Amino acid sequence: MGKKFKEVGIYLKSPQEDIPKITNLLKKSGLNKVLDLGCGTGRNLIFMAQNGLSVYGLDNSKTAIKLTKRWLRGKKLKAKFILQDMGGKLPFKDNFFDAVVSVQVIHHAKIEEIRKIVREIERVLKMQGLIFVTVPKFKNQGSSFKKIEPNTSIPLDGSEKGLPHHYFTKDELKSIFKNFSIADIHLDKTNHYCLLGYRN
CATH classification at residue 65: 3.40.50.150
For residues 53 and 109, give the distance between their C-alpha atoms in angstroms, rounded to a whole number.
Answer: 29
Q: What is the pLDDT of residues 112-164, one digit of tens each?
A: 999 999 999 999 999 999 999 999 998 766 668 888 889 888 888 888 888 88
Residue type, 133: V
pTM, two decimals, is 0.90
Domain assignment present for 20: yes
CB atoms within 10 A of CB 76: 6
Within a domain: 156: no
Give residue 153's pLDDT: 86
- Structural domain tally of the chain? 1
Is residue 81 one of the residues assigned to a domain?
yes
Does 55 fall in a domain?
yes
Q: Which domain holds residue 20?
A: 2-6+15-151+169-195
H-helix or E-strand containing 121? helix 111-124
Q: What band does 3 get if pLDDT is binned at 50, 70 and 90? A: very low
What would the mean pLDDT of 36-50 be, rounded to a whole number? Answer: 96
